[in-house]
Chains A and B, each alone.
Chain A
Amino acid sequence: MKSLLIDTTKCVGCLECVGACKRANNLPEGDTEELSWKTYTVVKEFKGIYVRKLCMHCSNPSCASVCPVGALHKTSAGPVVYDEDKCIGCRYCMVACPFSVPKYEWSNPLPRIRKCIFCAERLAKGLQTACAEACQYGATTFGDREALLEEGRSRIEAEPDKYINQIYGENEVGGTSTMFLAGVSFSELGFRTDLAKDPMPMLTWKVLSMIPDIVIMGGVIMGGIAWLTNRKNEVSLHELMEKDKEKSLNKKDSK
C-alpha cells in the first residue's frame, strides 16, 4: 500500500506541493488557506512550523464505509478514490470523516465531493504523487507504507531530540496512508489527538451486523405472538357462536 510520510520539521512552507497538486488535478486557482472544492491540499503555519493538510487515506476509511452507494472506496494501492457517477450527494462522508476532509461543490447545482485522491491516476502509471514529486526539501516522501514507517522510526531514532516519538497516522483510526512526523506534540499542530486506535467503521458495523439476527428473531417472536393472540380470538369467537346457537335453540324450545 502506497503512502506519504510528511516530515513537518523539514517543511519550509514553499507551497510547491499545493501548486503541483492543483496542476495535476486540474483544480481552479484560489482557496489556498483551507481545503475546499478548489484545493486538495494546503500548508498551514503553527508558530513557524508548516503542516500540510490533505486526505489521510485511512486504511479503513469512514467515508467509504458510510457511503450508501460505494462512491468512495479504498483501493488496494492505497488511495481513497471517488466515483462522481455513483454519488447521490448525501454528504454523509463529510459528516463521518474524523478529519473533516471531504469538501463539496456548494455553488454547483450538480455538486461533487472533492478531496485528495492520492493522484490515483499517476500511481496507476507507476508515478508518485504530484506533491511528493514537487517537494524539494524532503518534507513529503512517497513510498510503501511499511518502508515509510521504517524510515520514520529511523529518523526519530537518529535524532530523538528533534522529533517526538510518534508517527501520526501509524495507529490513528486503525492507521492511515498519510503519516506525519513532528518536533512538537501533534495537538499543537492542529491534529486531532482524541481519535481511537480502532477503525471508525467498526462503530456502526457492530450494530449493522446485528440486523440479520434482529430480523430473524423479531420475525419469529412477532409471528408467534400474532399466532397466539389471534388463536385466542378464534377460540372466543367459536364460544360466542356456540352460545348464540344455544340461545336460538332455547328460543325455539320455549316457542
Chain B
Amino acid sequence: MTMKTIQFPKLTFWRGVIAVIMLLGIYSTGYRFIKGLGASTALSDQFPWGLWIGFDVLCGVGLAAGGFTITAAVYIFNMKKYKPIIRPTVLTAFLGYILVSTALLYDLGKPYNIWHPLVMWNPHSVMFEVAWCVMLYSTVLALEFLPIVFEKFNMERPSRILRKISIPLVITGFLLSTLHQSSLGTLFLIVPEKLNGLWYSPILPLFFFVSAIAAGLSMVIFESFLSNRFFRKELEIDLLEGISRVIVVVLGCYFVLKILDITHRGVLPLLLVPGMERSLFLAEIFIGVIIPFILFAMPKVRINKKGLFISAFMVVIGFVMNRMNVSITGMAASSGVDYFPTWMEISITAFIVAIGFVVFALAVKYLTIFQPAKSEESTEKFEEYTTEFLQDETAGTIASYPKV
C-alpha cells in the first residue's frame, strides 16, 4: 500500500507528459498526412532532409546498436555474463527499428510506396542497401525477440526451433548491423561539395560504425538506469562496469581515427574558422568522446551509479550531436538557408519516442523482459544442466548453458 502511494504521483506526472505528447503528436500526424510535408515541416528545396532523417532515422538506428553488440558478445564471443541484459537490449533494438521505420513513413513523400525497394532494385544506391538492411535486421530482431513472446504463451516447440538457429541469427544480425550502421555514413559520401570538411570524410562509414557501437553500449547503460528507476529493476553494476570498459576502448579508437582523419585530410585549418560548425564540432568531440573517455577510464566512475549514468549519457548526447551535425549543421552552409524544425516536426519526433517508452513499459509489464534474480537463475540452470542437458546434449541450446 505504502509503496503504491509513493509511486502514484510520479507515474501521474509522466503519464501526463506522455498524454500531452501523444495528443500533439496525433494532431501533427493528421496535419502532415493531409496537408503534406511543405505545410508541416520547415523543409525546402534547399534543405530537403531535416529532423526526421537526422534524429529519428540516423540516431534511432545508431542508438539501437546495443542490440547487435550485446547479442554478439554473448552468443559469439561467449561472454555469458551479459546474458541478463540481452532481453531488454534486443527489445530496445527491435522497438528502435520499428520506430525508425515509422518515422520514415512520415518523412517519405509517398509513404504508400515504401515497399518499392523490395521489387524495384537499384544496387548502386546506398539508400537501397539501407532499406534492405533495415528490413532484414528488423526481421532478425523479431526472431530474436519472439522466444520471449512464445514463453509467455508456453509455446515450447517454436521457441526451441528459434533457439537452434540462434547463432546463425546473431551472426546475420551482426553483419546486417555492420553494413547499415556504416551505410548511414556512406549516404553522405555522395555530397563532398555540400558537407562541411569537418565531417565529410572518405571513412565516414567507419566513423558511423564505430560511434554506433559506443553509443549503442552507452544506451544499454542509460536504459539500465531508467529501468532501475521506473521498473525497480536491480542494477548489475558489474555488467555495466564491463560494458563501460569496452566503451573506453571504442571511444579511444574513435578519437584516434578522428585525429588521423582530420590531419591526413588537411582540414585542421577549418578548426581555426570561427562559426557554428567549429563550435558544434568541438562540442560533439568534447561532450561525446573526450570527457566520457576520461570519466569511463577512471575505475571510481565505472563502479559508481551516477558516474556511469552521466558518462553514458554524455556519449549518447555526443552521438546525437554528431548525427545532427552531419545531416543538418554540416549541410547548412552549402544550402544557403537556415533550417530549424517546426513544432510539428518536433512533436512527431517526441511522439515516436514516447510510443517507444510506452511499448517498452507494456512489454516489461506483460512479458519477462528482466530475467529472475540471480540466485533463482542459477538453481534453474543447475537443474537444466544436470537433467535436461544430459538427455539433449546435441540440441546444444546455448541459452541453457550454465555460467562456467
Contacts and interface: CB of A to CB of B under 8 A. Distances in A.
Chain A contact-residue range equals: 35 or more
A225 B110 contact: no
Contacts of B36: 106-111
B193 A100 contact: no
Contacts of B127: 66-68, 90, 92
* Most interface-central of B80, B113, B174 (chain A CB within 10 A): B113
Contacts of B205: 207
A226 B114 CA distance: 36
A36 B110 CA distance: 19
B48 A36 contact: no
B109 A203 contact: no
B38 A106 contact: yes
Given A66-B125, A68-B128, A237-B404, A104 B175 contact: no
B288 to A, nearest CB: 24
Interface stretch (A9-17, A132-140, A159-167, A214-222): A214-222
B392 interface: no
26 contacts: A65-B125, A68-B130, A86-B113, A87-B109, A89-B108, A89-B109, A90-B108, A90-B109, A91-B109, A98-B194, A103-B45, A106-B38, A107-B38, A108-B36, A110-B36, A111-B37, A203-B192, A207-B182, A207-B189, A208-B124, A219-B175, A222-B72, A222-B171, A233-B401, A237-B385, A241-B385
Given A68-B127, A211-B179, A237-B402, A204 B110 contact: no
Interface residues of B, number: 69
Interface of A: 35-36, 62, 65-71, 86-92, 94-96, 98, 100, 103-112, 192, 194-196, 200-201, 203-205, 207-208, 211, 214-215, 218-219, 222-223, 225-226, 229-230, 232-234, 236-237, 240-241, 244
A67 B125 contact: yes
Contacts of B182: 207
A26 to B, nearest CB: 20
B178 A204 contact: no
Contacts of B175: 214-215, 218-219, 222
Contact of B122 (A69, A106, A234): A69
A96 B178 CA distance: 23
Given A69-B122, A92-B127, A111-B37, A104 B45 contact: yes
B35 A88 contact: no
B153 interface: no
Interface string B359-376: 000000000000000000
* Most interface-central of B117, B127, B396, B402 (chain A CB within 10 A): B127
A171 B39 CA distance: 40
B189 A69 contact: no
Interface in B6-49: 33-39, 43-46, 48-49
A242 B350 CA distance: 56
Contact of A109 (B34, B80, B128): B34
Contacts of A219: 171, 175
Contacts of B80: 233
B113 A204 contact: no
Nearest to A231: B78
B108 A88 contact: yes
A87 B113 contact: yes
